[in-house]
Structure 1
Amino acid sequence: MVQYEEQFTLEWEFDRLVPVSSSQVALAAATLCGTQFKNIEFDFEVEESVLATVRKFTRGEVDAVPTPDAPRPLLHDGNVLSFSGGFDSFSAWRLMPESSHLVSLDFGGWFEREADFFQDFDTLVVSTNMRSMPTLRTPLTRNHWSFMAVGAILTARHFNVKHHSFGSILGESLSSSARPVPTLPVLEALGFKEAGYARGLTEVGTASVILRSDPSRVVDSLRSLSGPRDRKIFRKTALSEVVAKKIGVAVDLPKLDYSRSPQIKFGDDYASSLSALYCLGQGRGDSIEGLFESVPEEARKIGDELSLDFMEKINWDAYSGFPSSLQEGLWSKFAKFRLEPYGERDWAELSIVRDYLSRAYSAAHAAPSV
């Protein structure tokens, strides 16, 4: 369990007037607690149903000034996206209804590059120090990934809509059969239902969406999502280059210097290895091989023998549980961006890739022989 001896102040500042209840603050704080605290105390009023949610979510003893639940407002049939400006959330936004709202977290410091990019959009910005409290090395955000929903939690009454979206895509989740995506309890308590618009796409699919919709913003989005040595920017730049050429979109991408990115074992990072297989399949292994210590012959064989076109398509199984009222609009956006669902050959190739990457991961993590 985590224990902090010193006191510190969490800050959330909005770029416009936003009504926030004390119960919303409790839910936002719960994301920063995760399950790391035995005792949590709020010295303000918290609605009884929210208290129950916080107790269940944090699995801790939670004390507050309980108050009866306030009447719930009538929610509009709209959407809000937790928007970072990176490829994944950018593509999710382009797949959403035009009237959708954006909310972004400005963490300052190292993450300033994100804010520099997303502030060009019509997004409600919440500036916060929560990624540096109590210290940069031990931030509260390490306790649970749900801190990414804090912006949506604190602006829930401002937007007053039914659906929330993260920019989640098919990453490591591609390694297993898709399951319905549950709504986070801290969001569900405010009436949200999760709608993962990009959940059925790989990084190839998200690159395709952005290249077709906003080619002029591709480079700035790439620069916003990671530091210059982070393998993510190398991987996504390589994919953008390959996809842009395939779909006939002209974009001036930066040249990659792989000496600036530490090399990894093939299979160690699922997303990078999956992307490498796609590039190999497109005859462009040279665009991404620099990320790895070496590329196994079996990976090259898979690239030679399979089309790997499934990575350009939609895994419709990933949309199990997607709100039915939104499906027609989502399907029309798929058609707009020329995204097709998997066919029989795609499922067969996916099975081969899953099996290979599972073995490659095990090999990358095997103990060295003595």
Structure 2
Amino acid sequence: MENFVVSARKYRPSNFKSVVGQQHITTTLKNAIKNNHLAQAFLFCGPRGVGKTTCARILAKTINCENLTADFEACNECDSCKAFNQNASFNVHELDAASNNSVDDIRNLVEQVRYAPQKGNYKIYIIDEVHMLSTQAFNAFLKTLEEPPKYAIFILATTEKHKIIPTILSRCQIFDFNRIQIKDIAEHLKYIASEETIAYEEEALRLIATKADGALRDALSIFDLIVTYSAGNKLTYHETIDNLHILDYDYYFKVTDALLNESISETLLIFDEILKKGFDGHNFIVGLSEHFRNLMVCKDPATVMLLQVSENAQERYVQQSSSSSLSFILSALNVCNQCDINYKSSKNQRLHVELALMKLAKLPQAINLAALAQEESKKKN
């Protein structure tokens, strides 16, 4: 039986071109290689799972490549590239600062730096989770980081830049990685699904991308989980929401329709059904706030692009938005926001949400009465 390799490892980018959602980083690094403007120390910082260590490895492989391509990518054919791809390169050293964070560990690293590479131009030292180094270890590293031998390049990676002492930051060229956009993650998942011959629903992939919160590695882990759960080569939206225990956005459309019809009973029955399915009232009210925000965004064609949903869902949002007044949406957002703020301090949390829903159901009537009162006052004046 062949060993299973998770998607995050199997489809790990091998060159700058295949890195997802970090074009500002990859373009700068390629230009540095092209113009021979390589700094002696780089600091890659950003959220988890966005490609910091991956870019560090690609940079390490590329600057030692013997036959760079026309667009300054590693050739993957020379001895240096082959050695790197087989994890057998003597010129690339990786250190996990989480488990090697003492002064002695840094002294050993500094001792290694003294020896020039036997083959190739550079020795690259990748230090992951560098914020875990102790203050003493940082101080022991300062001199080497500032004035390393011409063949040594340090690439530091961290998720918590604020924990790194300023004297280290001032010696590094800093690259800030972005959270990856939902659209980019969804496109990458489509590519992997096609490579693995897995049929998919676009809504399911977009839901996985949203749940990943900008981390591609998290998205790939969820993707593998759903594929395993489905026990076949089909990835559906309903299987995805069942497995991830996410409330189907269809409920928010139903609740909003009931609120616009001023039906308190129907609204409470839908909320009861949601609770019986095991969903938390707080998550529901947060999701309802997001739903109203999406309806407000749809009020102006210029802001519809801010919706991070599929085309089918976008059509439903635009349709429901046209039947909802802006006054209702803004007032509903305010009620939901207050419910969210006070939820945890409430003794009876279910009743707290139900009261908010009752207020929302009477909003159209209140808005109409306010409009009539305003007209009356205008007539008198």
TM-score by length of 2: 0.29
**Structure showing greater Rg:** 2
Structure number having the greater strand percentage = 1
Larger helix fraction of residues: 2
